[in-house]
Chain A
């Protein structure tokens, strides 16, 4: 069966520091991968999605970037964190763009 992992689970970083959040999927090949940010009372905001290695689509221009160096690995990065980057980041995968998305456990990021 398919599983999705995210790490770290929790991260506290100072303003201006870099960021790297990792997401990996097991048990499937060539998945679509997604990064969301979840804020209380605001639902889930899609940040990036990828349909294949090296293919990244950005939904919201901001301080973050994403990369997909391997088929089942999706990384969310920042060169310099802002206070406003604090939040709960969720990774998700789907078989293709038409199918159900399945979510990872999330990473809670606090920028101080």
Chain B
């Protein structure tokens, strides 16, 4: 069975700080990887995804993530966060024909 681990439940940063949210998964085969974001009071929405090809994936709002197969990781990064990035971030993995499995989420609070 596949699983996803997000290292931090809560992260607090000041504006302009760099961000890296950790995500590790366990699955022995080919995977599709996702980061979703849920802004306060809004729908859960897709931030970026990796299916194949370039392991460095760029998403909306300046976010990017790097798939490192040897480390079973898909960390989310942003060089300079803004107050509007305050949200909950979910990593998710889909292996083979299995259903999507989500991590427990990381709540990011950016102080102005």
> Which chain A residues have a beta carbon within 8 Å of chain B's beta carbons?
34, 41-46, 49, 59, 90, 97-98, 100-106
Contact = CB atoms under 8 A, between A and B. Distances in A.
A90 B32 CA distance: 21
A42 B49 CA distance: 21
Interface in B79-108: 90, 92, 94, 97, 99-105
Nearest to B101: A46
A44 B45 contact: no
Nearest to A44: B102
B105 A43 contact: yes
Contacts of B9: 41
B44 A103 contact: yes
A95 B75 CA distance: 26
B74 interface: no
A106 B43 CA distance: 8
A43 B3 CA distance: 12
Contacts of A102: 46
B34 interface: yes
Nearest to A38: B44
User: What 10 A-B pairs are tightest by C-beta distance, nearest first?
Assistant: A43-B104, A103-B44, A44-B102, A43-B102, A43-B105, A105-B43, A103-B43, A46-B99, A43-B103, A42-B104
Given A103-B45, A105-B43, A41 B104 contact: yes
A104 B97 contact: no
A98 B32 contact: yes
A100 B34 contact: yes
B99 A44 contact: no
A59 B46 contact: no
B104 A101 contact: no
B49 A100 contact: yes
Interface string B26-54: 00000010101000000111100100000
B95 to A, nearest CB: 11
10 contacts: A42-B104, A44-B102, A46-B101, A59-B99, A100-B34, A102-B46, A103-B36, A103-B43, A104-B43, A106-B43
